[in-house]
Amino acid sequence: MIALTAAEIAAATGGALRAQGDEPVLVHGAVVTDSRAVERGGLFVALPGEHVDGHDYAATAVEGGAALVLAARPVHAADGTELPAVVVDDVQRALGDLARDVLARLREAAVEPGGTPLRVVGVTGSVGKTTTKDLLAQLCAAAGPTVAPVRSFNNEVGMPLTVLRADEQTEYLVLEMGASGPGHLDYLTSIAPPDVSVVLAVGHAHLGGFGGIEAVARAKSEIVQGLLPDGVAVLNADDQRVLAMADLAPGEVLTFGTSPSATVRALDVTLDRAGRASFVLAAQGRTAPVQLRLVGEHHVHNALAAATTCLALGLDLADVAAGLSAADALSPHRMHVVDRPDGVTVVDDSYNANPDSMRAALKALAVLAGRDRRSIAVLGEMLELGPGSREAHDAIGRLVVRLNIGLTVVVGEGARAIRDGANHEGSWGDEVVLADDVDAAAAFLEQEVRPGDVVLVKSSFGSGLWRLGDRLTGAAEVTG
């Protein structure tokens, strides 16, 4: 974070200074919510939690080098001495206020003589946010100093923490913006109004928090309405709900997709034997070849979104195409492909799941396995789907049969409807197995998996299947 005094942090957050000595407290290190990650001179944010209260770790954070604590009440060392703090009514809200203030300072500095130009990119969508963010992080980093989220820091805590990593040298600030209900993106864009807003897709994620697909579309459109007045909207031309957001954009609109009307297009899309897509990137009257290293045809749209965004930022088409061809998947449990020494290939996509991403992963599995390898789908529950949850899981089970997946292991009671759907579609007995939990699934797979198999692990993170993904890939060699 840029260097700020405790008094400046208090002013930005509306907080009260506590236990300040004769010398002003200067914060010049990282802003963290985990006391184990503190840096000397940093700020520790004491977030209250359902199971863990950050205030209980304030003393540890200060002992570790934190210069200041952002807290909801005075905090003390083990001997009772009060610790330097800014005390606020709502710590999470204050974290957002601080990020808003810091970004405003950076934007003011950027337009000063000799200042570093700063561009903010916001990415949202029901699927593909993290992969697109990872692609943008790599493409932008080749052009200038870039800050992007670690993992999926995309909520009311993670996004401000990402903003606060930016400093006076940052040229590109890439932000993943998630929403599990109306108004969430309004809040995030109030902290960091984007120069470029990217909407990938409107799908069936978090339907329980929205109440329907049209409500999802309205919520995702908040990122377009939150653009700076001269900002650019980057929209998926192949998703009509996303394309309709063009009417809400305050300025220029660029589109991407396979549609002939798209500003940036993918032509001649093909998949290699490993399930990686090649295509011709077409934009601005020019073309350039792209060979993705990511597994799955669905990544073509993520790559197009990243390319369109980079072109909006002024990067060259040939450089963008070369960067996409060199880019890797950075975040864990995201179509992470591992070839094990025993001849088994594991595709760990267990970080998140909704009907759209589940379908994409299963299709990628079918392509990767082809006709000469057995495909195994290990599927857990898709969370937060609301009243349509059973129907959505049933549909995935039917798709498993249509794709001719060799073996499906359904994990947990919440995913049982996947097995039911497969049976209704025509699956025969041993082709679909129901495991009570992750341990039962692991024990079954240990006995069942054989050399040559391709195993997909897919579920929502809260279902816990990521632990099985770790077990299956743990000591293996990662492939490109």
* Two tokens, residue 316: 């060259």
In 111-173, which residue ranges form alpha helices assigned H by DSSP? 129-141, 158-163
What's the chain's length in residues?
Answer: 480
* Contacts for 253 with CB less than 8 Å, ≥ 6 apart: 232, 233, 235, 246
Locus of tokens 């200041």: 68
To 5 degrees, how large is the angle CA 150–CA 207–CA 458?
55
Contact yes or no for 313/196 (Cβ under 8 A): yes
The Cα 243–Cα 201 span in angstroms is 9
- Supply φ then ψ for residue 78, to 5 degrees: -60, -30
Tell me whether residue 59 is exposed, middle or buried, using C-beta atoms within 10 angstroms of its C-beta: 0 to 12, 13 to 18, 19 or more: buried
Q: How far apart are the first and last CA of the chain?
A: 34
SS3 content of the chain, % helix, strand, coil (to 5): 40, 20, 40
Structural domains in the chain, CATH included, are 4-89 (3.40.1390.10), 94-326 (3.40.1190.10), 336-478 (3.90.190.20)
Residue 50: the pLDDT is 77
The Cα 430–Cα 373 span in angstroms is 18
What is the chain's pLDDT, residue by residue, as a tens digit (480 residues)?
899 999 999 999 999 999 888 788 999 999 999 999 999 999 999 999 878 899 999 999 999 999 999 999 999 999 999 999 999 999 999 999 999 999 999 999 999 999 999 999 999 998 899 999 999 999 999 999 999 998 778 999 999 999 999 999 999 999 999 988 899 999 999 999 999 999 999 976 555 556 688 988 999 999 999 999 999 999 999 999 999 999 999 999 999 999 999 999 999 999 998 899 999 999 999 999 999 999 999 999 999 999 999 999 999 999 999 999 999 988 878 888 999 999 999 999 998 899 989 999 999 999 999 999 999 999 999 998 888 899 999 999 999 999 999 999 999 999 999 999 999 998 766 899 999 999 999 999 999 999 999 999 999 989 999 999 999 987 334 333
Residue type, 410: V
* Two tokens, residue 293: 């290293």
In what helix (H) or strand (E) does residue 78 lie, and over which residues does it extend? Answer: none
